[in-house]
Amino acid sequence: MTKQAEKPIIDPFEAALGVSDVKGRSPWEHAWHRLLKNRAAIYSAYIMAGMLVLVMLGPLVVSWESDFTDWDYTSAAPSLESGHWFGTDAVGRDILVRTLEGGRISLLVGLVATIVSLVIGVTYGAVAGYYGGNTDRIMMRIVDIIYALPFMFFVILLMVVFGRHIVLIFVAIGAVNWLDMARIVRGQTLSLKNMEFIEAARACGVPPWGIIRRHIIPNLLGIVIVYVTLTIPQVILVESFLSFLGLGVQEPMSSWGALVSDGAQDMESAPWTLIAPALFLTVTLYCFNYIGDGLRDALDPKDRL
Amino acid sequence: MLRHSLRRLLGLIPTLLMLITVAFFMMRVAPGGPFDSEKSLPPEIEANLNAKYHLDDPLLKQYFHYLGQVAVLDFGPSFQYKDWTVNELIAQGFPVSMTVGVLAMSLAFIVGTLLGIAAALRQNTRIDYSLMGVAMLGISIPNFVIAPILILVLAVYAGWLPAGGWDGGFASMVLPVLTLALPATAYIARLTRGSMIEVLHSNFIRTARAKGLPESVVIRRHALRPVLLPVISFMGPAMAGMISGSVVIERIFSIPGLGSYFVQGALNRDYTLVMGVVILYGVLIILLNFVVDLIYAWLNPKIRYDETS
């Protein structure tokens, strides 16, 4: 009734202004527009997309196998004639194809370990923040305690103790990397849980777990996305760190860290064995950091001015 | 303040206990013992060795035995380096690691804050953008990538500095300290810039400017203290990062520090050495975090523990 009565009044008003349809913008659209304006982040996203395609399809296109040893060209410098565009290592394996295949492992570890830490961190943080009180205090105290431990040494211990299996790398890195995520999610949950819509859900009789799953976690999405993009490079870094020490992925599998480690050993006679994987690794980390930064600027409600 | 500090110190005990417990049980459930080398020992000798190191006791008994030892700061004999105790190994490696770490930390703090302030004062100029671009690079390049490149350029090609080794002299320190300091410097520069920009927009800075203080005084007397707060609270994680970074750095530059002992010990299943190093590092990180907290409270007048607790 009221709506129909109002309509004719509004229409001429809109016509006078020359706007027929005022479209609202959701917070996500705002964020998207801010992100598009951040050139560094956008270029980084393009480069990362290119890197992904290269790493996934590259090994299929390059004519060498990663474990093929070309005895005619051992420690050969990059050249177009030999077909080894990035040169070969000390036993004649093609650096380009090894770098690309190593990239698969590095990126895979980055992704999987981040998902592990994401699942643990979000669940833990949301539960602690939602229940509050003593539950929260005890759970966060545990996080504080683990936080104070030299976690890198525990990853190393884990690798030494349980063998160097690739699945273990995922779990070990993910399992020690969830602390930041848990803290951030808890903080956000604390501020969310007193909002009206949560109260409404509670009044409707939605059980706590349902509220966490349906109402809290979706509202954490923004900040979680930012931290995921910032966690991926961290995880890739940890994996390459382990591989560099000889504790990560084992031959014949390879990762950027392992390749850098190999390259660093022969760098005086064959610097190209170091340069290719180092370059790929650094570019990837650089891009992820810029994307994460851009997302944080775009999604951070603090400077929505 | 004093009461608060004491309470915080007592609160560190559970953390320490957990550290020791986790390290102990993780090493003991590991398959393979310290004496399975390539040539197997005669069973009687192995039994004797196990008895000597209490490895034949039940696990819990070993645990409490170890706790008792650690309580009096005795980490026992090393399993691998036959004539050494872990205490002696630590006494040898720790000063070296400490020197590199302290130098790198100081360098990172001074250079990082200066660069951050410089960038913030020229916000959104070319200087700002290039400084922050370099800082992002510093965060992104792993130190095991930058170290070989620096060695290749400065030591192998140019021949200015030694490529590795340690004689306690200045030349042998330059590269390790630089590489170790780089990521922390970059991070501190970014933090300082952000914090400086925020502080410069606050009311008390406007007041200081309004009463006609010169800009340099505004920054030194009024802005610096709040700007340093987030940097100070980053020092704890930064130190933990440096300690794990030093493992790689010490390996690349062949520095005889704690990090090299740790990796060697872990690979050789030298239980006592590894646990000794982990506990030492854990204690170090916990204590440094405690000191950082105290400095933070001292710099930040908003925190007055005694009244609230």
B15 to chain A, closest Cα gap in Å = 5
Residues 6+ apart with CB under 8 A from B24: B63, B66, B275
Q: Say yes or no for a CB contact (<8 Å) between A145 and B248.
A: no
A193 to chain B, closest Cα gap in Å = 25
Question: What topology does CATH give the domain B1-309?
Answer: MetI-like fold (1.10.3720)
Bridge partners (DSSP) of residue B85 are: B77
Q: Say yes or no for a CB contact (<8 Å) between A157 and B26.
A: yes
In the prediction, which pLDDT does A3 show? 47
Q: How confident is the model at residue B32 (pLDDT cuts 50, 70, 90)?
A: low
In the prediction, which pLDDT does A258 show? 83
Give one word for B40, left, alpha or beta, with left for phi > 0 and alpha for psi -120 to 50: beta
pTM (two decimals): 0.77
Averaged pLDDT for residues A21-29? 67
In the prediction, which pLDDT does A304 show? 39
Q: Say yes or no for a CB contact (<8 Å) between B269 and A160.
A: yes
Top mean-pLDDT range of A18-22, A107-111, A300-304, B24-28: A107-111
H helix count then E strand count, chain B: 13, 0
* Residue from the list A148, A240, A245 with its beta carbon closest to the beta carbon of B286: A148
Note if the bond before A252 is cis, omega within 30 degrees. yes
In the prediction, which pLDDT does B110 show? 92
d(CA A88, CA B288): 46
Cβ contact B112:B187 at 8 Å:
yes
Q: How confident is the model at residue A83 (pLDDT cuts 50, 70, 90)?
A: low
In the prediction, which pLDDT does B60 show? 79
Which residues in chain A touch residue B251, judged by CB atoms under 8 angstroms apart? Answer: 245
Residues 6+ apart with CB under 8 A from B230: B191, B194, B195
Q: With a cut of 80, say whether residue A278 has pLDDT above it.
A: yes
* Residue from the list A149, A160, A241 with its beta carbon closest to the beta carbon of B144: A241
Q: Domain ranges for chain B, please list them.
A: 1-309
Three-state SS for B85? strand
Domains and CATH numbers, chain A: 88-303 (1.10.3720.10)
Q: Say yes or no for a CB contact (<8 Å) between B140 and A278.
A: no
B122 to chain A, closest Cα gap in Å = 19
- Is the ipTM reported for this complex over the cut 0.85? no
* Among A106, A160, A230, A279, the residue to mutate for chain B (most B Cβ within 10 A): A160
Q: Which of B134, B145, B140 is nearest to B112 (CA)?
A: B134
Detail the DSSP E strand segments found in chain A: none
Averaged pLDDT for residues B239-268? 81
Three-state SS for A50? helix
Q: How confident is the model at residue B111 (pLDDT cuts 50, 70, 90)?
A: very high
d(CA B193, CA B196): 5
Q: With a cut of 50, say whether residue A305 has pLDDT above it.
A: no
Q: How many CB pairs under 8 A join A and B?
A: 117
Q: Which of B211, B208, B52, B183 is nearest to B105 (CA)?
A: B183
d(CA B137, CA B116): 15
In the prediction, which pLDDT does B308 show? 44
Q: With a cut of 60, say whether residue A200 has pLDDT above it.
A: yes
In the prediction, which pLDDT does B35 show? 61
Q: Which of B305, B249, B233 is nearest to B104 (CA)?
A: B249
Which residues in chain A touch residue B289, judged by CB atoms under 8 angstroms apart? Answer: 148
Q: Say yes or no for a CB contact (<8 Å) between B144 and A264.
A: yes
Q: With a cut of 60, say whether residue B81 has pLDDT above it.
A: yes
* Chain B interface includes A6 (CB < 8 A): no
In the prediction, which pLDDT does B107 show? 92
B285 to chain A, closest Cα gap in Å = 7
* Residue from the list A257, A268, A289 with its beta carbon closest to the beta carbon of B140: A289
Averaged pLDDT for residues B64-88? 78
Q: Which of A40, A41, A292, A37 is nearest to B129 (CA)?
A: A40
Bridge partners (DSSP) of residue B77 are: B85
Q: Tell me the CB-side half-sphere exposure of residue A127, using CA atoms within 13 A.
A: 11
Which residues in chain B touch residue A161, judged by CB atoms under 8 angstroms apart? Answer: 26-27, 29-31
* Among B144, B267, B269, the residue to mutate for chain A (most A Cβ within 10 A): B144
Q: Say yes or no for a CB contact (<8 Å) between B277 and A267.
A: no
